[in-house]
Amino acid sequence: MDKIVSLCRRRGFIFPSSEIYGGLQSCWDYGPLGVELKRNVKEAWWQEMITRRDDTVGLDTSILMHPQVWQASGHVAGFSDPLVECKKCHLRYRADEVNSTVCPACGGELTEPHQFNLMFKTFMGPIEDDAAIVYLRPETAQGIFVNFQNVLNTTRKKLPFGIGQIGKSFRNEITTGNFIFRSREFEQMEMEFFVKPETADKWFEYWTKERLDFYRRIGLRPENLRLRPHEKAELAFYSRGTSDIEYYFPHGWAELEGIANRGSYDLEQHVRCSGKNFEYFDDETKEHYLPYIIEPSSGVDRTVLAALCDAYAEEPDKDEIRAVLHLHPRLAPFKVAVLPLSRKEPLTKLAREVHNTVRRLWRADYDDAQSIGRRYRRQDEIGTPFCITVDFQSLEDKQVTVRDRDTMNQIRIPIGEIENTLAAKLGGEAFASKELWYTAQ
């Protein structure tokens, strides 16, 4: 993990928030490369969950919601963790993470556990009183549930159908850590899939498999992924089944995504508390009922961290060791880098022309600083799949050298064939395995 954190800081993926003032614990800023990686993760999710399906739609709900939403969902009364505090050094821990009555830091005595609500509270309007209390949402799911009838009426979707959204959530975690794995401000990718109650088990199995396959499709190695069904004691009281997709992070196996059969609990709660009718009318059976909900819920930041951990490697290269990110092309911040062999004219003019051509289609870098070898290493370390080198011979034969990040193989192609060559290597679902992505032409 130290190497991942160092790489992220050094190459502009992720910085500590408010660093010039000493930072803010467990809050992070995504730098120029990190924001591209994060956007690519979200775009991959959106394409697979919304764009490429005809049974799902998207939504973008507000972070601030009516406080009764959180009363109905149970978050005000029950969204809490057991907290213990050291009587000597006053460090605080989640009770389920400390297996003794002694402080892990100083050996002092710990207090008895007491419940600590994880929601961030603030006030709306000029007066700070109980009537003005609102919360920063701890999850994006409730925004979907309260809009169920709006979406149903405006899209005229029939069951089964899903509503997905990507957005920020906030949890006042007692303990954080492991870089961006657990933080107080994070981004979620959630789908609420509404189904006939009798089909819920089938759809739960479908989404469990589909979501596990998604991580393989974006390049995570199968041996670093596993599915862990929850034991009965772990289940929320309303849950009819939950499984976690876990990834083998540097700190061990940990949750990457949860898939839950939530039954009709959430809709029932909002019907009861709002007085609105959320029943679905089934044209086929002529019945009115509340749908069951299958919820695949994943974290953007955890997926970013998993992608970085999975892709990072240190490999021998002649007399040196190169650090390289074997990111799937869908996730790589830059898809291609254009490297002129020299800063001299007219070489740079031709290199700029090549760069202008490729950046119309892909996020492309232009790098002319230091030796060509150092520039290759720099692009390897940030995960750029292909480098295009423009040399003095290019001025004569109108050809360039395309270098593959993973194999380091180089091929010579005409400038006019760059777009087709890169499109074949970068485009499409045909490149389902690393062995096929970078086959030399």
Per-run averaged pLDDT (10 residues), the chain, 441 residues: 92 92 89 96 96 96 93 78 76 72 82 77 82 89 95 92 96 78 92 96 96 96 95 84 95 94 94 92 91 96 96 89 94 96 92 94 93 94 96 94 94 94 73 34 27
Query: Is 176 within a domain?
Result: yes
Same domain, 192 and 46: yes
> Is residue 315 in some structural domain?
no
Q: Are residues 295 and 169 in the same domain?
A: yes
222 and 358 co-located in one domain: no
Distance of CA 254 to the CA centre of its chain: 15
pLDDT at 127: 77
CATH code for position 421 = 3.40.50.800
pLDDT score of 81: 65
| CATH at 33 | 3.30.930.10
pLDDT for the residue 80: 62
Residue 238 lies in a domain: yes
DSSP code at position 171 = -
Judge whether 88 lies within some domain: no
Q: Do 150 and 212 lie in a common domain?
A: yes
Taking the C-alpha atoms of residue 118 and residue 172, their distance in angstroms, rounded to an integer, is: 5
Do 256 and 211 belong together in one domain? Answer: yes
Residue 227 CA: distances (Å) to CA of 222, 224, 236: 11, 11, 18
Assess whether 237 and 341 both reside in one domain: no
- Choose one of 242, 272, 307: the last residue of a domain: 307
**Judgement on whether residues 263 and 359 belong to the same structural domain of the protein:** no
6 found inside a domain: yes
The predicted structure's pLDDT at residue 438: 35
Same domain, 221 and 342: no
Structure tokens at 153: 């009426």
**What pLDDT is stored for residue 434 in this prediction?**
37
The answer to whether residue 298 is domain-embedded is: yes
pLDDT given at position 440? 30
Nearest to 328 by CA among 235, 201, 426: 426
* Dist. CA 61–CA 307, nearest whole Å: 27
User: How many CB atoms lie under 10 A from the CB of residue 354?
Assistant: 22
User: Residue 336 in contact with residue 357, Cβ under 8 Å?
Assistant: no
156-182 burial by CB neighbour count: b if 16+ within 10 A, else e? ebebbbbbbbbbebbbebbeeebbbbb
Same domain as 57, residue 186: yes
Task: Among 307, 322, 348, identify where a domain stops.
Answer: 307
3-state DSSP assignment of residue 62 = coil
Give the integer Cα–Cα distance in Å for 35 and 300.
11
Q: Domain containing 162: what range?
A: 2-67+136-307
34 plus 149 within the same structural domain: yes
The phi and psi torsions of 9 (rounded to 5 degrees) equal -70, -45
User: Per the domain annotation, does 120 fall within a domain?
Assistant: no
Q: Is residue 198 part of a domain?
A: yes
As for how many domains the chain has, the answer is: 2
| Domain final residue, candidates 252, 272, 307 | 307
Query: Number of H helices and number of E strands within the chain?
Result: 14, 23
Q: Phi then psi for 434, rounded to 5 degrees?
A: -60, -25
* DSSP line for 94-111: EGGG--SSB-TTT-PBBP
Residues 180 and 298 grouped into a single domain: yes
Same domain, 420 and 302: no
Is residue 335 within 8 A of residue 385, CB to CB? The reply is yes
